[in-house]
Amino acid sequence: MLVGGIAACSADDDHAGAPAAAQANESGEAIYGQNCVPCHREDGKGVPGVYPSLSQSPVVNGDPVELARWVLAGKRPASMPAGRYTAQMLQFGWMKDSQAAAVLTYVRSHFDNSSPPVDAATVAAARR
């Protein structure tokens, strides 16, 4: 899902006090643009047979804990068929909980998706 430079970041929530919806929308879009676009494209449609579309994806719209585990640690969700794409998902465990929550919320609310937001506490639970 996400491709980009790796940064050394802690798992601490760095946006305490920021309006959650505005923060998730702004930084989620920026994080997506910096890390996800190379594979999943600006429109979220991916590259057929290589990188999956995020549009109406059962993984994107499914359990947010499973989605976070997939993005952060590469733990495949049960709803994802094995061997369907030639490329392997990079792991983004370097993201802070708030960053991961922001980008997951962005993906779950764009590209023909309308799933509820993901918060930093959900991402923290996925790390355990």
Helices 64-73, 120-127: crossing angle, 10 deg rounding: 60
Identify each DSSP E strand in the chain by its residue range: none
pTM: 0.78
CATH topology for 28-127 is: Cytochrome Bc1 Complex; Chain D, domain 2 (1.10.760)
SS3 assignment, position 62: coil
Q: Give per-residue pLDDT as tens, 23-73.
A: 555 599 999 999 999 999 999 999 998 999 999 999 999 999 999 999 999
- Ramachandran quadrant class, 77 (left: phi over 0; alpha: psi -120 to 50; beta: rest): beta
Backbone angles phi, psi at 7, to 5 degrees: -120, 150
